[in-house]
Amino acid sequence: MKVKAIGAITTAICMTAVSLAGCAMPSVSSEGSSQAATAERAVTEAADVDADGKVTIRVVDWSDGSQQRREEFHKKYMEQHPDINIEYTMLTVDQFKNTIITMIKSGEGPDLFPIPVGMTLDTALNENWFQPLNPYVTEEFRQKFDPLSFDEGITHKGDDWYTITELMPTIQCLFFYNRDVLNAAGVTEVPKTYSEFREACKKITEYGKGSVFGLIDGGKQVNRLDVLARSMAAAAGGKIAATQKVLTDQGRAPYDCDGMKQAMGLMEQLVADGSIHPDTVNISAPEAREMFAQGQAGFLCQGMWCIAQWGKNYPDLNYGVMAVPVPDGMNNTFVQQGELSPWMGLYSQSKHPQEAADYLMALYSEEYGYQSGCVEDGTFVSVIPEINEKYMTNEIMKQYYTIANETAKIVPTITKRDEKANDFYREVKDVQPSLGAILQGVLSQSITDYEPELERLADASTQEWQRAANAVGLDYSELEFPNWDQTEDYVQKDYDALK
């Protein structure tokens, strides 16, 4: 496999690239923008160099969680296709958006690349990024996919298939616990409620004497804190949309609902107890994942992607998975199910569309072992049901998958109700400080009274959502789903009932 150099930062990128599931794209600093530009120049300058006279397929993404399996796949694919060179560039998620936009504007987009996190298929098609896959992939290939991995506005536009999702959506907010740490601290039961969780964190912190703490997380990444806040608020009964999505409750952005206040209150209590690892607000999700595995904390809130990384780097780690804690006395509450998201698409200006599509079909085939290897490792749940049935053998992955299915429900999404919602998402602007930033402030103690901050966020978000809806001609009331029962999956019949 040919992996292009990306200036002096190549090694750092390859070693620390953040997976899609682990790190939804944060804002890019001027330093990040400069690095992204450096990466883009290195990629494009070597794009057409092909000394062997072979067809070169250029692929750019951020899949560090499956990096080893991807390398194995590329080696095997090129061995069996000696007329093909694969030039694969892996960036971090936060670099990717600026890099890919610059590449496309220069007319040098790679043959295959994902839609940046937070961007819709509709936006990408309006910018003429992708061409349909239909003419280049086989019907046999299409039939292998779980029908739930296809969705209008995500993978398809009408009859045209534009993007393939990387994995089946799974919640990113379950809690991992280090069994050895809990046992050493005298925590004999896996906590389920706020009071049990707080008490367990206290015991661990007291046992640790400054070297081990109750909870650690990647608090430097506000996107991870956003996921944590939303999931805990939902588990506390709040009507909260999935990350980067919009829903109203009684005509208002629900960021100051009781469920959110309870979630923030628990975090504030953990800070007051000294139970949050002191490095939390200064580290990324991958760093928190490493420190948890090293025994520096009892609990960590992240996603399934951790399983494969720990299997490779910490094979003796003794850990388990638990549901999001709920307020005392509450039951029958659920977190937001992960939503299907677009991933890899075929560049509209690709010079080798058939060869690129052949690469995609191989990437998802059992023959080449990429999907099966990732499922076996515990990296993700495949979009190919047959592969899950045969290769989901990792016990921790099974545990995670079972708890996720038991504790998550599908929430409504406005794009399924009205196509103008795509225009709305392009129009709406982020309100600051964001939900993740408020939780970051609570953890760092720079915010000592979170309730007024949540109210300001709810007020400002409501005003911005109203403005954006009016700007694109979307009926603001369509952001509300009055027939939404949080204890049930919101499915097509529920949408139909509102027509």
Q: Torsion angle, CA of 403/404/409/411, rounded to 10 degrees?
A: 160
Q: Torsion angle, CA of 163/168/169/171, rounded to 10 degrees?
A: -150
How sure is the predictor about 17, in pLDDT bands with cuts at 50, 70 and 90?
A: very low
Q: What is the pLDDT of residues 404-435, one digit of tens each?
A: 999 999 999 998 899 899 889 889 999 999 99
Per-residue pLDDT for 243 more than 90?
no
Single pTM value for the model: 0.76
The closest alpha carbon to 58, from 90, 20, 101, belongs to 90
Summarize the confidence of residues 374-395 as an average pLDDT.
Answer: 92
Q: What is the pLDDT of residues 51-109, one digit of tens each?
A: 567 999 999 998 877 888 999 999 999 999 999 999 999 887 778 888 999 999 998 99
Summarize the confidence of residues 14-24 as an average pLDDT.
Answer: 35
Residue owning tokens 């001609």: 473
User: What would the DSSP string read from start to end of 301-339?
Assistant: E--THHHHHHHHH-TT--EEEEPPPB-TT--S--EEPPP
Written as one letter, the residue type at 261 is K
The closest alpha carbon to 308, from 482, 167, 146, 457, belongs to 167
Q: What is the pLDDT of residues 325-353, one digit of tens each?
A: 999 999 899 999 988 888 999 999 999 99
Helix axes 435-444, 258-273, angle to 10 degrees: 30
The closest alpha carbon to 346, from 150, 128, 74, 80, belongs to 128
